[in-house]
Amino acid sequence: MASLSALVRRSPLADFLSRSDASVGMQVAGIVGFAALAALGAHAKVYLWEVPITLQTVAVYGAGLVLGGRNGFLAMALYLAAGLVLPVFAGGASGLGYLMGSASAGYLLAYPVVALLIGRLTDERRGFLASAAGMTLGVVLLFTVGVIWLHVAAGHETWGESILKGALLFIVWDLAKVWLVAGGYAGLRRIA
């Protein structure tokens, strides 16, 4: 019992899944759980143009923050692998054709790397501002890869159109998601 209380004092329980000494079972549960959250988030969507607004990125950002870089990467890789056979992408889409040919494929393919980056950036510093800053850099990476892919896949005539439709129209939404995830995580760290 003393060792459990020492664990709680050293690290909040909210950080448990990102610790290297978390049990394999707990790590697997976290990976599968965040992959499932990404799949659920894909079905909460609004189409305004080629790329929908979804809640998938909440799971991507949260996976990196809560699971850490490696397991966040694995969670999003599992999500993409599931999408090869199950309708877990936005609009109930699935398959390699969608993953490699849709206008939003660049965002999807960036998910594992974004979760990895966020996990690495927030590994040592997990407060609200550090978490928000790490996730904001993840947003920059996500939009960079997504806009490049969108420009080619959608055949936009100018980069300005691709940047507008692939990043600028989403930035407020994604920054709100970052603040939501950072705030929720900071709150969990205080109570757990």
**Average pLDDT by stretches of 10, the chain with 192 residues:** 42 64 86 96 78 87 94 97 95 91 94 97 89 96 97 94 93 94 88 68
pTM above 0.85, yes or no: yes
Catalogue the E-assigned strands of 71-175.
none
In sequence order, which residues have a C-beta less than 8 Å from that of residue 113 and are 6 or more positions away? 73, 141, 145
Q: What is the rounded radius of gyration, in angstroms, for the C-alpha atoms of the chain?
A: 17
Label residue 9 exposed, middle or buried (CB < 10 Å: 0-12, 13-18, 19+): exposed
What phi, psi does 159 have (nearest 5°)?
-65, -30
Domains and CATH numbers, the chain: 13-191 (1.10.1760.20)
